[in-house]
Amino acid sequence: MPELPEVESLRQILARSAVGRTIVSARIGEARLRRRIVADFAAAVAGRQIIKLSRRAKYLIIELDGDHVMLVHLGMSGSLIHRGEDFSDAEFDPKHDHVEFALDDSSRLVYNDPRRFGMMRLVARAALENSPELKGLGPEPLSRDFNADYLAGKARGKQVAIKNLIMDQKIIAGIGNIYASEILYRAGVRPTRRAGRVTRKEIEKIAGAVPVILRAAIGSRGTTFRSYRDSRGQPGRFAEQLRVYGRENEPCYACSTPIKNVVVGQRASFYCPKCQV
DNA sequence: CTTACATCCTGATTGC
DNA sequence: TGCAATCAGGATGTAA
């Protein structure tokens, strides 16, 4: 479920409580995820200190002392909850708690993912950039590498819907289903438009809307539409600022036309039929 | 290479 | 109330 703003919010919040902590021990619950957790994972992280949290696309990177990092993806339903000493009453649930780290301040960091679309694995720092997960990713949407010229080059000649294009992690890394709809609403472009037919001016509007929407969402600590929670168990507040996502048949805030919901690339896609051309 | 679609999995919600 | 159908913030593999 989490997209870039949720992972970034999680990173910022978790960093405050977890950086500097040492992993005393780890235990594994259900090991079957998108990739199975390897048998020696717990032993490999025990005794390591968390030195930094970083992020690439929707991946959280927990940097450890020594030469490895933990690469984490939350899939659709994953969470990483940090329970302090005073919260330690929650039971370990081996069905959905995949990993529990005991830290040196008696807190516990629990990685939970009921749908098991996520992953957590140890990667050598030197091999991270070329790992199968990160290797093919497009530029970070909040970096200078992403701009209208870049997007125009990628859209040129493409038949795919523009919404699918901006959700393609090889094109831009980190945009998912909620923010794709919100970005296209702000840009005034329908999600169903063929990417190659989107005009230069519209591409510029889309490229401009990307950082505006994502930064605003990060500022609100992400969107909790259903179940996203940060490491404190808190929901994000951006849901109240959503303009189209989840608002089928409700009036557009700009023109009162009912918001439509169409399926594009097997995903629900919301737009205003009047404001978006 | 591009595009379209099924598939992985479980839980919450919707509809009859 | 109960039960079945439908739907989820994602990514990938396969086939045309």
For residue A153, the one-letter residue type is: G
Q: Which nucleotide is nearest to A227 (CA to C1')?
A: C9
User: What is the structure's pLDDT at A249?
Assistant: 96
Helix axes A200-219, A4-18, angle to 10 degrees: 30
Asked if residues A255 and A275 have their Cβ atoms less than 8 Å apart, the reply is: yes
User: What is the structure's pLDDT at A90?
Assistant: 77
- Find the angle CA(A20)-CA(A89)-CA(A22) to the nearest 5 degrees: 15
Q: Which residues touch strand C (CB under 7 A)?
A: A 1-3, 6, 34, 57-58, 73, 75-76, 115, 117, 132-133, 167, 169, 176-178, 222-228, 266-268
Is A250 known to be catalytic? no
Is it the case that residue A88 has pLDDT exceeding 70? no
User: What is the structure's pLDDT at A146?
Assistant: 97
Helix axes A200-219, A177-187, angle to 10 degrees: 130
Supply A78's token pair.
């994953």
Is A240 known to be catalytic? no
Q: Which of residues 224-243 of A touch strand B (CB under 7 A)?
A: 226-227
Is A5 known to be catalytic? no
How many Å does it take to go from CA A46 to C1' B3?
45
Each residue's pLDDT tens digit, A163-207: 999 999 999 999 999 999 999 999 999 999 999 999 999 999 999
In whole angstroms, what is the distance from residue A139 CA to residue A149 CA?
13
User: What is the structure's pLDDT at A87?
Assistant: 62
Is A3 known to be catalytic? yes
- The CATH homologous superfamily to which domain A4-127 belongs is MutM-like, N-terminal (3.20.190.10)
* Domain residue spans of chain A: 4-127, 148-271
Mean pLDDT of chain A: 96
Each residue's pLDDT tens digit, A100-112: 999 999 999 999 9
User: What is the structure's pLDDT at A91?
Assistant: 86
Asked if residues A196 and A155 have their Cβ atoms less than 8 Å apart, the reply is: yes
Q: Residue A36 CA to chain centroid, in angstroms?
A: 21
User: What is the structure's pLDDT at A144?
Assistant: 97
User: Of the residues A11, A58, A121, A221, which is catalytic?
Assistant: A58
Each residue's pLDDT tens digit, A35-62: 999 999 999 999 999 999 999 999 999 9
The highest-level CATH class for domain A148-271 is mainly alpha
Confidence of residue A212 (pLDDT cuts 50, 70, 90): very high
